[in-house]
Structure 1
Amino acid sequence: MKIGIPKEIKNNENRVGMTPAGVFALTKQNHKVYVQSTAGIGSGFFDEDYQEVGATILPTIEDIYNQSEMIVKVKEPIAEEYGLIKENQIVFTYFHFASSQPLTEAMIKSKAICIAYETVEDEEGTLPLLTPMSEVAGRMSVQQGAKYLEKPIKGRGILLGGVPGVKPGKVLILGAGVVGVQAAKMAAGLGAHVTIMDINMKRLRYVNDVLPNHVVTDFSSEYSIRKHIKDHDLIIGGVLLKGGKAPKLITRDMLKEMRPGTVVVDVAVDQGGCFETTKATTHEDPTYIIDDVVHYCVANMPGAVPYTSTIALTNVTLSYILKLANFGWEKACEKDKTLAKGLNIVKGEIVYDELVGIFD
C-alpha cells in the first residue's frame, strides 16, 4: 500500500503521524511510504532520518494526498485539506467529529474512509490510541495550570506545592479516567492538595488505592462541584464521552463562585469542552479571562511536547497501520474488532452510532 504522512498544518502542531521507526516497519514489509518534506522536524526527526529507512520525501502536501492510498496524521484535517482528500482514501487520525459539524460534513462529502484514533476501542472498553495522548495531556494540564496560577499571568499567585509554613494550593479534577489520574499524579507530586471527582465508584476506588493520601475522592454532582470550586485554585476538566460531546459540568454562572485568579484547564476541549465558557485556543494564544477566571483551553496540548507525543503515538498506532496496509481497511476491520470501532464515516455514510443524529 502507498501511505502518506503529511506535515501537520494546524496552528502550532509540531507532532508528526509517524516516527522513522514506524516507517521502517512499513517499508520492511514492502509498503511505499511518502513523507512530506520537513513533516517531522518539529518532533526532532529530519528528512534524512526518513530516507534512511526507505521513505520517499515529497515537497508538498498536495503531492502526499495525490500519491497515497492511506493518509496517517495526528490532528483532524482542517479546511485547507478538505479538498485534498480523495474518494476511497483511508484517513487515519484523531477526528473528534462530535465537536465539528463542518469537518463532519466535509468528510461525508469526500467519500473517504475516516478511521478515528479516539474511537478505536478494545474489549475492555479502553481506548488504546487515545490513552497515550490523554496521559500526556493529563500531566501537562497541571504543568500549564501551575504556570498560569502565577500573578504576572493574572493567576492567584499560588505556588501549588506551597513552602514550609504556607499551605499548598488546591487542585480539583473532574473525571477519574486516564487524564484525571495522570493529572492527579502530577499535582500530588508537586505537593498540592488534590480532589478528584467522578460518578464511577469503581474509578474512585482505584484512585483511592493507587494515589497518595493527599489525593482525596468525591462523588461528582452539581452540588459537590459548586462546593469545591469556591476554594480550589486550579480546576481541570478531564471528562470523556466516547465519540460524543463532553457534558458541561462548569456553567457560566459558576465562575462567579470562584476566587479571582482561579485557573481552569479544559482537557476535554477536543470534544466540545466540559466548561460552558470553553472556546478552543492555541499554543500561540493559550488563555483568556472571563469573570476573572483564567481559561486554558488549548485543543492540541500534546503538540507542545512533540518528541514525547509522536513516539508515544506511534507506539500504539503502528500495529493498526500495519493491519490496514497489509489487508486493506475492510479485511483489517473484519479481523480486528477493536480497529473496526474506529470507523466513523465510510464512503459518505456515518457508521459510528454516537455520531448519528448529533447535528440534527
Structure 2
Amino acid sequence: MIIGVPIEIKNNENRVSLTPGGALELIKRGHEVYIQTNAGLNSGFPDEAYEEVGANILPSIEAVYDKAEMIMKVKEPIEPEYKLIKKDQLVFTYFHFASYEPLTHAMIESGAVCLAYETVEKADRSLPLLIPMSEVAGRMATQQGAKYLEKPIMGKGVLLGGVPGVSPGKVLVLGGGIVGTQAAKMAAGLGAQVTIMDVNLDRMRYLNDVMPPNVVTRYSNEVNIRELIPHMDLIIGSVLLPGAKAPKLITRDMLKEMQPGTVLVDVAVDQGGCFETCTPTTHENPTFIIDDIVHYCVANMPGAVPYTSTIALTNATLPYAIQLANKGWKKACQENKELEKGLNVVNGDVVYEAVAEAFDLDYVPVEKYLA
C-alpha cells in the first residue's frame, strides 16, 4: 500500500503522524511511505531521518494526497485539505466528527473512508489510540492550569503547591478516566488539594486505592459540582463519551459562583467541550475570559510537546496501520473488531451511530461494507 504523511496545517500543530522508526516498519513489509517535506521537523525528525529508512520525500501537501492510498494524520483535516481527499482514499487520523458538522459533511461528500483514532475500541471499551494523547493532555492540563493561575495572565495568583505556612491550591477534576487520572496525578505531585468527580463507583474505588492522600473522590452530579466550585482554583474538564458530544457539566450560570481568576481547562474541547462556555482556542491565543473566569480550551494540547506526543502516538497507531496496509481497510476491519469501531464515514455514508445522532444524519450500519 502507498502511505502518505502530510504536514499538519492546523494552528501550531507540531506533531507528525509517523516517526522514522514507524515508517521503517511499514517499508520492511513492502509498503511505500511518502512524507511531505519537513512534516516531522517540529517533532525532531528531519527529512533525512525518513530518507535513511527508505521513505520518499514529496514537496507539497497536494503531492502527498494525490499519491497516497492511505493518509496518516494527527488532527482532523481542515478546510484547505477537504478538496484534496479523494474517493475511496483511507484517512486514518483523529476526526472528532461530533464536534464539527462542516467536517462531517465534507468527508461525506469526499467519498473517502474515514477511520477515526478516537473510536477504535477494545473489547473492554478502552480506547487504545486515544489513551496516549489523553495521558499527555491530562498532564498538560494541570501544567497549563497552574501557569494561567498566575496574576499577570489574569489568574487568581495562586501557587498550586502552596509554601510552608500557606495552604495549597484546590483542583477539581471532572472525570476519572485517563485524562482525569493523569491530571490529578500531576496536581497531587505539585502538592495541591485535589478532588476527582466521576459517576463510576468502581472507578472511584480504584482511584481511592492508587492516589495519594491529597486526592479525594466525589460522586459527580450537579448538586455536588455546585457545592465545590466556589472553593476551587483550577477546574479541569475531562469527560468523554466515545464519538459523541461531551456533556455540559459546567454551565454559564455556574461561572458566577466561582471566585474571579479561577481557571477552567477543558480537555474535552475536541468533542465539543464539557463547559458550556467553551469554544476552541489555539496555542497562539490559548485563553479567553468570561465573567472574570479564565478559560483554556486549546483543541490540540499535545501539539505543544510534539516530540513526546509523536513517539507516544506512533507507538499506539503503528500496529493498526500495519494491519490496514497489509490487508486493506475492509479485510482488516472484518478481522479486527477494534478497527471496525474506528470506521465513522465510508463512501458517503455515516456508519458510526453517535456521529449520525449528533447532526440528525442518516445512519448506515457498517455491516453494509463489511458483510
TM-score range relative to shorter protein:
over 0.9
Separation in structure 2 between the aligned mates of residue 301 and residue 71 of structure 1, nearest angstrom: 22
**Residue 73 (str. 1) matches residue 73 (str. 2):** yes
* Secondary structure of 1:27's aligned partner: helix
Match of 2:330 in 1: 330
Match of 1:133 in 2: 133
The CA deviation string for residues 128-182 of structure 1, in whole angstroms up to 9 with x for no partner, is 0000000000000000000000000000000000000001000000000000000
Q: After the TM superposition, which residues 210-359 of structure 1 pair with which residues of structure 2 at under 5 Å, given as runs?
A: 210-359=210-359
Alignment size in residue pairs: 360
Match of 2:169 in 1: 169
**Residue 10 (str. 1) matches residue 10 (str. 2):** yes
Deviation at 1:190, TM superposition (A): 0.2
Deviation at 1:31, TM superposition (A): 0.4
Q: After the TM superposition, which residues 96-135 of structure 1 pair with which residues of structure 2 at under 5 Å, given as runs?
A: 96-135=96-135
Deviation at 1:335, TM superposition (A): 1.0
Deviation at 1:205, TM superposition (A): 0.7
The one-letter code sitting in structure 2 at the alignment partner of 1:286 is: P
Separation in structure 2 between the aligned mates of residue 262 and residue 357 of structure 1, nearest angstrom: 34
Deviation at 1:340, TM superposition (A): 0.7
Deviation at 1:355, TM superposition (A): 1.4
The one-letter code sitting in structure 2 at the alignment partner of 1:157 is: G
Match of 1:59 in 2: 59
Q: TM-score, normalised by structure 1?
A: 1.00
Match of 2:368 in 1: none
Separation in structure 2 between the aligned mates of residue 222 and residue 186 of structure 1, nearest angstrom: 25
The CA deviation string for residues 177-199 of structure 1, in whole angstroms up to 9 with x for no partner, is 00000000000000000000001
Separation in structure 2 between the aligned mates of residue 125 and residue 29 of structure 1, nearest angstrom: 30
* Secondary structure of 2:128's aligned partner: coil
Separation in structure 1 between the aligned mates of residue 265 and residue 346 of structure 2, nearest angstrom: 34
Separation in structure 2 between the aligned mates of residue 355 and residue 15 of structure 1, nearest angstrom: 26
* Secondary structure of 2:264's aligned partner: strand
* Secondary structure of 1:344's aligned partner: strand
The one-letter code sitting in structure 2 at the alignment partner of 1:222 is: E
Match of 2:23 in 1: 23
Separation in structure 1 between the aligned mates of residue 323 and residue 198 of structure 2, nearest angstrom: 36
Task: Using the aligned pairs only, state the percent identity.
Answer: 69
Separation in structure 1 between the aligned mates of residue 113 and residue 243 of structure 2, nearest angstrom: 17
* Secondary structure of 1:160's aligned partner: coil
The CA deviation string for residues 215-269 of structure 1, in whole angstroms up to 9 with x for no partner, is 0000011000001100000000000001000000000000000000000000000
Separation in structure 1 between the aligned mates of residue 242 and residue 209 of structure 2, nearest angstrom: 25
Deviation at 1:357, TM superposition (A): 2.9
Separation in structure 2 between the aligned mates of residue 356 and residue 10 of structure 1, nearest angstrom: 25
Separation in structure 1 between the aligned mates of residue 96 and residue 141 of structure 2, nearest angstrom: 20
Match of 2:92 in 1: 92
* Secondary structure of 2:357's aligned partner: coil
Deviation at 1:212, TM superposition (A): 0.5
Q: TM-score, normalised by structure 2?
A: 0.97
The one-letter code sitting in structure 2 at the alignment partner of 1:72 is: M
Match of 2:33 in 1: 33
Match of 2:367 in 1: none
Match of 2:363 in 1: none
Match of 1:44 in 2: 44
Match of 1:200 in 2: 200
**Residue 142 (str. 1) matches residue 142 (str. 2):** yes
Separation in structure 2 between the aligned mates of residue 118 and residue 358 of structure 1, nearest angstrom: 16
The one-letter code sitting in structure 2 at the alignment partner of 1:342 is: G
The one-letter code sitting in structure 2 at the alignment partner of 1:182 is: Q
Deviation at 1:354, TM superposition (A): 1.3
The one-letter code sitting in structure 2 at the alignment partner of 1:313 is: L
Separation in structure 2 between the aligned mates of residue 176 and residue 320 of structure 1, nearest angstrom: 27
Deviation at 1:30, TM superposition (A): 1.2
Separation in structure 2 between the aligned mates of residue 139 and residue 99 of structure 1, nearest angstrom: 23
Separation in structure 2 between the aligned mates of residue 357 and residue 168 of structure 1, nearest angstrom: 43
The one-letter code sitting in structure 1 at the alignment partner of 2:257 is: E
Extract unaligned runs of 5+ from structure 1.
none
Separation in structure 2 between the aligned mates of residue 284 and residue 244 of structure 1, nearest angstrom: 27
* Secondary structure of 2:328's aligned partner: helix
Separation in structure 1 between the aligned mates of residue 156 and residue 100 of structure 2, nearest angstrom: 34
* Secondary structure of 2:230's aligned partner: coil
Separation in structure 2 between the aligned mates of residue 231 and residue 115 of structure 1, nearest angstrom: 42
Separation in structure 2 between the aligned mates of residue 77 and residue 70 of structure 1, nearest angstrom: 14
Separation in structure 2 between the aligned mates of residue 210 and residue 255 of structure 1, nearest angstrom: 32
The one-letter code sitting in structure 1 at the alignment partner of 2:136 is: V
Separation in structure 1 between the aligned mates of residue 227 and residue 173 of structure 2, nearest angstrom: 13
Deviation at 1:213, TM superposition (A): 1.1
Separation in structure 2 between the aligned mates of residue 248 and residue 352 of structure 1, nearest angstrom: 22
* Secondary structure of 2:14's aligned partner: coil
* Secondary structure of 2:205's aligned partner: helix
The one-letter code sitting in structure 2 at the alignment partner of 1:198 is: D
How well do the aligned residues superpose, as a CA RMSD in angstroms? 0.4
